[in-house]
Amino acid sequence: MSRYISSLTAAALSVSTLAFGTAIANAQDISGSTVAFLMPDQGSTRYEEHDHPGFVAEMKKLCDSCKVLYLNADADVTKQQQQFNSVITQGAKVIVLDPVDSSAAASLVHNAQAQGVKVIAYDRPIPDAKADFYVSFDNKAIGKAIAERGIDKDKVKIMGQGELTYEDALKSMGDAGLGLITAFHYDYNHQSPRNKEFVAAYNAEFKRNPDMFSAGGYDGMHVIYEALKKTGGKSDGDVLINAAKGLAWESPRGPMTIDPDTRDVVQTVYIRRVEKVDGQLVNVEFDKIENVKDPWKARMAK
């Protein structure tokens, strides 16, 4: 799986750096330009282990003298807004943005473009603003390819990572997405009382369904709140970290714990199949794997 992710990431990174070159192609010389690479969170190791070093390597091929500013928002919308404004102040000509919240990112795009800064939406689209470029794994194309090649999904099981059947991807695929099987840790269609309550509250506030980043933000705030309760309000870093070890709670995504040894989350991964429910394509869970730890760290411990 890690090789698969690395290959997909490399392809996206190559395209994003080509988009960077095109974005400032009107300039006589791109040497010495500053480009910002803003990622959404550290919940996945991919940004630190693949995307960031991969982007820097591709940029060196395109422009050895260009400066790359890398920042990670830690799943914090406000933090990403501050980082975005900061890199503009530091002279970024192009910003490659994987938004924490696609809706909130629209104002960032408008602000940057008003100042002549190009924005490349990376991995996740920004539906309420027209970025200069959008680079991602083409989920719609996958669905189209399945349909065009006449694959009989009653005989052939097509499996993929959870991002393949995001809500917006399924809308683009249409019925070609029916029967796709994916594994993921969160979907707004998860049928638990806690998640139904969460989805209703999120829709009331933001007028859209929550995604994995939304659930991650919820869980992050829960951990901070519970850790502060245990410390009596003491916010020293080491004290809070120790308080968070072993925490367990019911998340919108299901049962969650913090591994006291690695401080990583332990969660359930759901196996889902795309079905049509009330005329809408959704991920329907039919199996699950409980108490899943970070596979890389689990393997390294052996």
**Is the domain of 146 the same as that of 124?**
no
- 88 and 168 share one domain: no
**C-beta neighbour count of 63 within 10 angstroms:** 20
- Same structural domain for residues 131 and 173? no
pLDDT tens per residue across span 105-148 = 999 999 999 999 999 888 777 878 888 887 766 666 666 676 66
**Whole-model pTM above 0.85?**
no
If asked whether residues 156 and 215 sit together in one domain, one would say yes
What is the percentage of the chain residues whose pLDDT exceeds 70? 82
Q: Give the pLDDT score at 12.
A: 44
pLDDT bucket at 3, cuts 50 / 70 / 90: very low
Residue ending a domain, among 135, 153, 171, is 135
End residue of a domain, out of 135, 153, 183:
135
Q: Are 170 and 274 in contact (CB under 8 A)?
A: yes
- Mean predicted confidence (pLDDT) in 75-100: 94
User: For position 272, which CATH number holds?
Assistant: 3.40.50
Structural domain count, the chain: 2
Pick the closest to residue 15 from 59, 72, 77, 47 (CA basis): 59
Instruction: Print the domain residue range for 225.
Output: 138-302
Determine the 3-state secondary structure of 182 from DSSP. strand
**What sign does the dihedral 44-51-22-137 (CA atoms) show?**
negative
Judgement on whether residues 113 and 193 belong to the same structural domain of the protein: no
Same domain, 160 and 54: no
